[in-house]
Amino acid sequence: MLALRTRFQHFRALSSGTTAAPQIDNSSDFLSRVPHRKHPGIIRMNMARLPQEAQDAINVLLKKSAIRQLEEHVIRLNNYLWSRKRPCEDRDLREKATELEQKFKENTPFNSDLNLYQNDEKLKSRVLSTLRKNIYHWQPLSYTEQFGLVYLAARFDGGFAAVSRVLQEIYQRVPEFKPQTLMDFGSGTGSVSWAAHSIWGNNLKEYVCVDSSASMNTLSELVLRGGSEKGKMHITGIHFRQFLPASPKVQFDLVVSAYALNELPNYAEREKTIQTLWRKTGGFLVLVENGTCEGHQLLMEARDIILKRGDKEVLDHRPACVFAPCAHQLKCPKLAESSQKPCNFVQQYQPLRFSWNQPIHWEKFSYLVFSRGPVGENDSHWPRVVAPVLRRTRHVHCNTCCSDGKLHHDIITARRHGKDFYRCARKCDWGDRLPAMLSSSDTPDKNEDDEN
């Protein structure tokens, strides 16, 4: 009994570590019209499925290619892309070289060979040798015809699932938003166009797919044509470009960049590209990256560029607002932690039908959505569930990122938080939002302590 009491007090300490407790937000009175299992905070997709036309086209293209050991190539590419890091900046390399040079000089024994480091060439050689062994050697990907097919087999389905999940949130939370134009930066094999078309259908009239690789643009068009050059385009209104539109006045209702920021060679290029993408945004800007520390860092870098550094060329004066996943525009609390875990989410999907594939896969990704001006102000403060929900007897553990810019861990019970909020919390999962607002008190209930 004492052990149970101690364990409960431990969870109580975790849940009351913040100064505010969540309570049900009844401002919109939505619970009188929908069941708890369908409350507006639930935005996840049960299963992402590729359109049959895309699956058939990919099978045709891969059969024509007859690539040997495709499974091995796919596994190797997925592992490489997941472990990929940002390129090192010249400034960081110079600082590291200076530190190593000072360290080598200080660690040289006084009575050793006095001429050991008097020769600058010897010192320089050792510093360069150490740097090569300890820094990440970033290299741009070369999208040849064969590599493009391997990339198609490895990443089309997972990329489609992640982008579909993010676009589904926009569709659900802002039903009045019906984009007619879309720009996809780093379009690759074209999974973004398929995902957007599966959600908004023929409402989208124009797609501009921008990719610096001509072979990838050709491959993307072949998928749209069913795997044949003479086939009919499954999605009409698509235009392929190798460079971003030059005119600063051209805007698109929806701008997407999925798994493309890490293809840029340095911070200066990323900053320039992100500012250009925001300049082209008329409604929403969607950024998606791997659900790793590097992917999260790339998104937080983009967040700072858009929110804090602004744009010198301001043509649209509507402010930038973080639409998702954050419930605030403060510094990401995940970066404030000593471990700096990434803010990521998962989406279940059916992969391409290969003999080595399991029937169900999970895509882990990080994302960031900006809107032109505030959108959905009534529920923009709802906390985001940033970890799997732990459902226990008569209580639920929820880890959320809240509007106060802090991470909260709350133990939600019907007695303390009310039946409606408790039932909503039980139906939530990783990536959903709690229909809640923060209250100013967090007073434990003695009767609840005794009951637990």
pLDDT exceeds 60 at position 112: no
Confidence tier at 19 by pLDDT (50, 70, 90) = very low
Domain of 27 in residue numbering reads as: 2-41+380-451
Q: Which residues pair with 210 in a beta bridge?
A: 185, 241
Backbone phi and psi for residue 279, each to the nearest 5 degrees, phi listed first:
-65, -30
Name every residue whose Cβ is closer than 8 Å to that of residue 185 and which is 6 or more positions away in sequence: 210, 244, 255, 256, 257, 260, 273, 277
Residue 139 lies in a domain: no
Confidence of residue 287 (pLDDT cuts 50, 70, 90): very high
Higher pLDDT, 160 or 19: 160
- Indicate if the pLDDT at residue 443 is higher than 60: no
pLDDT grade for 43, boundaries at 50, 70 and 90: confident
User: What distance lies between CA 242 and its chain's CA centroid?
Assistant: 24
Measured CA to CA, the distance from residue 356 to residue 363 in angstroms comes to 17
Q: Is the pLDDT of residue 388 over 80?
A: yes
Residues 168 and 200 in one domain: yes
Residue 328 has pLDDT above 80, yes or no: yes
pLDDT at 451: 41
Residues 324 and 184 reside in one and the same domain: yes
- Rounded CA gap, 74 and 151, in Å? 7
The answer to whether residue 128 sits within a structural domain is yes
Structure tokens at 136: 């990440």
Distance CA 174, CA 385 (A): 20
Determine, yes or no, domain membership for 47: no
Please report which residue ranges of 22-180 form alpha helices under DSSP H: 52-65, 70-83, 90-106, 120-134, 145-173
- pLDDT tens for 130-162 read 878 888 888 889 899 999 999 999 999 999 999
267 in a structural domain: yes
Final residue of a domain: which of 372, 404, 431? 372
Same domain for 75 and 149, yes or no, is yes
Of the candidate ranges 5-19, 183-197, 207-221, 416-430, the one whose mean pLDDT is the lowest: 5-19
Query: 257 and 230, same structural domain?
Result: yes
Q: Based on the fold, state whether residues 120 and 161 are members of the same structural domain.
A: no
Based on the fold, state whether residues 387 and 306 are members of the same structural domain: no
Q: For 205-252, what is each residue's pLDDT tens digit?
A: 999 999 999 999 999 999 999 999 989 999 999 999 999 987 878 899
Does residue 322 share a domain with residue 211? yes
Per-residue burial over 76-105, b = 16 or more CB atoms within 10 Å of its CB, e = otherwise: ebbeebeebbbbeeeeeeeebeeebbeebe
> Do residues 361 and 416 both lie within one domain?
no
Does residue 304 surpass a pLDDT of 60?
A: yes
Kindly state the tokens that stand for 306: 């858009």
The pLDDT of 285-314, averaged and rounded, is 90
pLDDT score recorded for residue 214: 94
Q: Identify the band that residue 27 occupies on the pLDDT scale cut at 50, 70 and 90.
A: low
Residue 259, SS3 per DSSP: coil
- Per-residue pLDDT of 330-362, as tens digits, reads 999 988 777 778 999 999 999 999 988 889 999
Q: 357: buried, middle or exposed (CB in 10 Å: 19+, 13-18, 0-12)?
A: middle
Measured CA to CA, the distance from residue 277 to residue 279 in angstroms comes to: 5
Write down the pLDDT at residue 211.
96
User: What value does the mean pLDDT of the chain take?
Assistant: 85
Determine if the peptide bond prior to 325 is cis (ω within 30°).
yes
Q: How much is the pLDDT for 126?
A: 79
d(CA 408, CA 401): 6
Query: Is it the case that residue 196 has pLDDT exceeding 90?
Result: yes
Which of 315, 342, 372 marks a domain boundary? 372
> How far is Cα 44 from Cα 37, in angstroms, rounded to an integer?
12
| Banded model confidence at residue 8, pLDDT cuts 50, 70, 90 | very low
Answer whether residue 24 is part of any domain: yes
Does residue 330 sit in the same domain as residue 205?
Answer: yes
Q: What is the pLDDT of residue 18?
A: 43
Residues 240, 244, 245: CA angle, nearest 5 degrees? 90
Claim to verify: residue 210 and residue 75 sit in the same structural domain: yes
CATH assignment of the domain containing 280: 3.40.50.150
For the record, the structure tokens of 254 come out as 């929806």
Chosen domain end from 372, 405, 422: 372
The yes-or-no verdict on residue 110 having pLDDT over 70 is no
Residues 25 and 157 in one domain: no
Q: Give me the number of domains the chain comprises.
A: 3
Asked if the structure places residue 265 within a domain, the reply is: yes
Same domain, 303 and 190: yes
Does 257 have pLDDT greater than 90?
yes
Tens-digit pLDDT profile for residues 155-182 = 999 999 999 999 999 999 999 999 999 9
Q: For residues 86 and 135, what is the distance between their CA atoms, to the nearest angstrom?
A: 11
Average pLDDT over residues 189-215: 96
Read off the tokens for 174: 């802002």
- Domain presence at residue 57: yes
Evaluate whether residue 277 is within a structural domain.
yes
Sequential DSSP letters for 181-201: EEEEET-TT-HHHHHHHHHHG
Q: 47 versus 378: which is more confidently predicted?
A: 47
Partner residues linked to 306 by β-bridges? none
Give the C-alpha separation, 348 to 168, whole Å.
Answer: 14
Q: Give percent of the chain with pLDDT exceeding 90.
A: 59
What's the rounded Cα separation, in Å, for the pair 8 and 28? 34
